[in-house]
A and B are shown apart, each in its own frame.
Chain A
Amino acid sequence: MTEPPAAFAAELVGVSKRFGPVLANDGIDLAVARGEVHAVVGENGAGKSTLMSILYGLHRPDAGHVLRAGRRVRLRSPADAIRHGLGMVHQRFRLFPGLTVAENIVIGAEPVRGGRLDHTAAHRAVTALADRYGLRADPSALVGDLPVGVRQRVEILRALYRQAEVLILDEPTAVLTPGEADRLFEVLRTVAATGVAILLVTHKLTEVLAASDQVTVLRQGRVTGRFTTAGTDAGELVHAMIGRSLTPPAPRRARPPEGDPALDVRDLTVRDADGVARLSGVSFTVRPGEIVGIAGVAGSGQRELIDSVTGLRGGTDGVLLDGTPVRPGRDPRVAYIPEDRHGRATAPDMSLAENLLMGGQRTLATRFGLPRAAVRSRGRELVERFAINTASVDLPIAALSGGNAQKAVLARELTRPSRVIVAEEPTQGVDVGVRERVHALLIAARDQGAAVLLQSSELAELRELADRILVLFEGRTVAEFGPDAAEAELGQAMTGVRG
C-alpha cells in the first residue's frame, strides 16, 4: 500500500491553549471525517469555542497541531483557514446588511468583468450553489431585510462558495426559533451528504441526538467522552459533560399565586414609526408568585411587549407595576434579562465587575464617589454566588465564555430588588447544568413572590417553568394555555391556526 489510509477531513492533535491562568484546551484530540456531522458539547467554559477558533486560525495553539486531509497545516489567520478549505459560521453574523445576498456570498472572491463585480455571474453562481445544496435564498434580496434563519443560511452559502470542506458552526441555533433550527439541520444533512465535514457546537442535547453522527464531550479543556450518536443517550452525555446526572425538575407547586397583580398590562397597543400596530390590545396580568410564559414565532410583538413592560419604550398607561404606570427610561422596579447579550445586556469591553454593576451604581456610591474596591468586591461576591467561571473580575466580559457571560447577566438582574422579573431567552448558550440552575433560580424567585414574565423560543422551557403560557401572534394574544399544553397545540396557536 502506497496510499495512506483514508484520512480525516480535519484533525486536531494534542491541542493546548492557555489564557493567563486558564488552561482552556489541554491536549485535545479530535477528528472529523468527510460527510460526518460531529457534535462538540460541554459545559460553559469547557473550551469548545477556543478549540473551534484554533481550527479556524483565530487563535494559535500553545501546543499541538492541525491536520487537514491528513496533512499538517499552519493556520495563522482565518485567511489561511479559508485557503485550506475551512469555513466558519459565526454566531454574530459578519454580513453586510446593505448588500444583497449574492453580493454577500461572493464578497472577497467576486467574479469580475471589466474591473467591476459581474452581477449576472454572481447571481448565477449563487443560484447554482443554492440549488446544489437545497438552500433556498433569493440572491437579490437585501440581507438587512432577511430573518435571522435566512441570514445564517447566507453565511453557510458564503463558506460553501469558498469551497469549504470543513464547516464549523459554534452554537448556531442559539439565535434561531425551533422551526428555523429544524430547517438548519436539514440543510446540514444535505451539505454533509456532499462530503463536507461539519463540526457543530451546541448545548442542546436534543439537537445533538437528532442531527449528529459522532459526539465529542469536553470538560475543563479535556476530552471526557467520545460517542457514536446512535449508541448513546442524553443521560450518558450529561454525565460525561458535568460529571453527574441532572436532578429531575422540582414538582410544580400546587398552590395558586395570590394577591394583586404585580404586573398588569391593559389594552396595550404599540405602533412603530410608520404607524403600523405592532401590538394590539394586549391585556394580561402577572401576580406575585407566578411565571407567565410568552410564546410566539419571532417578530410577533415580543420585542415591543417587553420594551413596554421595562419602560425602555417610554412610559405608558397600558403597563402598570404594582398599580402605577411604568416609568419611562428603564423602570427600576423591573429586573430584565435581555436576549441580546452583546448589544444590550453587556458592554463587551468593560470589565466583568463594571458589567455586574450596571443598575446598582448608585447604591454602591458614597459621598466621595464610587469606590473601585466596592465595585470589585460586589463583582467577586456575585461571581462566587452564581459560580461564574472567570480568572478575575477585571477581565473584559468579552473574555468570558458565552455561558459565563450569560450567568453574569443573570447574576446582576436576579439580585436587583425588583418584584417583577422579565426574562428573555434566559438559558441561551448555557450548558445543561447551568440551565438547571437558572431554572431553579427563576423558580426560587417566583416562590419568594416575584412576578416573572418569561419569553422563550424553546417550548420545552416554557412548559417546564410557566404557570400559564400566552401565545402572541401578529401582535395579539391569541391563546392562553396551562403548563400541560401539548407542544403541537402551542405550535398551532403560534402560527395562527385556531384551536
Chain B
Amino acid sequence: MTAVATRTVRRVVLSAPVVAVGGALALTTLVMLVVGVDPSLAYPALVRGAIADGNLEYTIAAFVPTLGMALAFALPLRAGEFNLGGDGQLAAGGVAAAALALSAPLPPVLAVLLPLAAATLAGGLVAALAAPLSTRLGIPAIVSTLLISAPAVSLASYLVRFPLGEQGTGLAQTPPLPAAAHLPALTEGGYVTLGLPLIVALTGLWLYADGRTVLGYELRATGRNREFARYGGVRVNRLAAFALAGGGGFAGLVGGLIVLGPPYRFVDGALTAPGYTFTAVAAVLLAAARPFAVPVAVALLTLLQVGGQGMEREAGVPSQLTQIVQGLIIVIVAVFATVRARRRRA
C-alpha cells in the first residue's frame, strides 16, 4: 500500500509539468540572484501583483481570453492538428462582432448574443480554411493555420481603420459599441464580465465531450492514430476539419468577448498584443495531453503574467522575467517529451 503511494507520489513529482514549473522557477531565481534582485522581495511582489490589492480582477480578466484560446489550441490538438493561427481567428471574431454590433441596433439580449455568434462563426471559418489545405494539398495545419493568420490579422486591422473606423479621430479603432451590446459586468471595475461563466461552462462542456462522447472518442482516435480511426470507419478528414473549425470558433468567440467588454470597441492590436495565443499554447503544452490540467495550467501562467507586471511596479524587476519563466517552462516540457520519445524508441 505504502509502496503504491510512494510510487504515485514519485510519478507526480517527476511528471513533466511539475519538473518544468519547478525547474523554471529555480532557474528564474538563479537569474534574479545573478542580476541582483532579491527573490524574497520579488516573489511576494509577484503574488501580490496577481491576486492582492484588487489585482485579482485583472488576473481573471486575462484568464478568460487565455482559457478560451487554450481551448482553441487544445480542441484541434486532440485530433492531431496544431492550430497556431489563433491570432487571425481572434481578430476575425473581434471584427465580426464589432461590425454586427455597430451595423444595426439590436434588441437587448440579442445585441450581445448575435455579435458573439458572428464572432464564433468568423473564427471558425478562418480556421476551417486551413482544413482543405491539409487534406487536399498536404500542407500540415501547423503551417497553414499560421499562414492564414497573418493576412486575417491584417484584414481585421484594415477594416478597423477604414470601413469601420471612428470618423475624424484618426485613431485605429471603431466607435464605441451601443450600450445594449455591452457584456454584463460581474465586478465593479467591469473587467470581469459574463465571459467568465461562459468560458468556464464551455471548458466543462469540452472536457465532457472529450472524455465521454462518441465525438470526443473519435477525435482522440484520429489524433492518436489516424489510420486506425479511418480503418474504424471514422471520417477522419471531416473530423479534423471540424476540430480546426471548432478551435477557430473558440478563438473567434474570445475575440467577440474582448470587443464586447471594456473598452467596448475594437481597438486595433488590442486583441493580439497581450499574446493570449502564445500563452495559451504554452499552457496546453504544459498540461501535456491531460485535458483536466488545461484550466490549471492557464491559471498558473496567467498568474505569472499579471503578477509579473506587479513585480515590475513594486520590486523593479522587469516583467520580461516572467516571460523567461514561461519560455523556460516550454523548453523543459519539450525536452522532457523528446527524451521520453527517444527512450521509447531506443
List chain A positions with a Cβ less than 8 A from chain B.
Answer: 58, 77-79, 94, 312, 329-330, 332, 336, 338, 343-350, 354, 357-359, 361-362, 365, 368-372
Contact = CB atoms under 8 A, between A and B. Distances in A.
Interface string B217-237: 110110011011111110100
B224 to A, nearest CB: 4
**Which 10 A-B pairs have CB atoms at the shortest separation, nearest pair first?**
A330-B233, A358-B232, A347-B225, A369-B213, A347-B224, A347-B228, A369-B212, A344-B231, A361-B214, A365-B214
Contacts of B212: 368-372
Given A347-B221, A348-B225, A350-B220, A369 B214 contact: yes
Contacts of A350: 220-221, 224-225
B211 A330 contact: no
B104 interface: no
Majority SS at the chain B contact face: helix
A362 B220 contact: no
Nearest to A327: B233
A345 B217 contact: no
A343 B228 CA distance: 7
Given A330-B230, A343-B228, 5 more contacts: A58-B346, A329-B233, A343-B227, A365-B214, A368-B212
B233 A359 contact: yes
B241 to A, nearest CB: 15
A330 B221 contact: no
Nearest to A360: B232
Majority SS at the chain A contact face: loop
Interface residues of B, number: 23
A372 B345 contact: no
B330 to A, nearest CB: 22
Nearest to B221: A347
A347 B78 CA distance: 14
A359 B221 CA distance: 11
Contacts of A344: 227-228, 231
Interface string B228-263: 111111010000000000000000000000000000
Question: B216, B220, B221, B235: which has the most chain A beta carbons within 10 Å?
Answer: B221
B162 interface: no
10 contacts: A330-B230, A330-B231, A344-B228, A345-B231, A346-B228, A350-B225, A354-B217, A354-B221, A368-B212, A370-B214
Nearest to B213: A369
B251 to A, nearest CB: 25
B208 interface: yes
Contact of B208 (A312, A347, A369): A369
Contact of B346 (A78, A330, A362, A372): A78
A77 B342 CA distance: 12
B281 to A, nearest CB: 22
Contacts of A94: 345
Nearest to A396: B224
B73 to A, nearest CB: 20
A473 B158 CA distance: 63
Contacts of A371: 212
B79 to A, nearest CB: 13
A312 B221 contact: no
Nearest to B233: A330
A368 B212 CA distance: 8
A368 B213 CA distance: 8
Interface in B190-225: 208-209, 211-214, 216-218, 220-221, 224-225
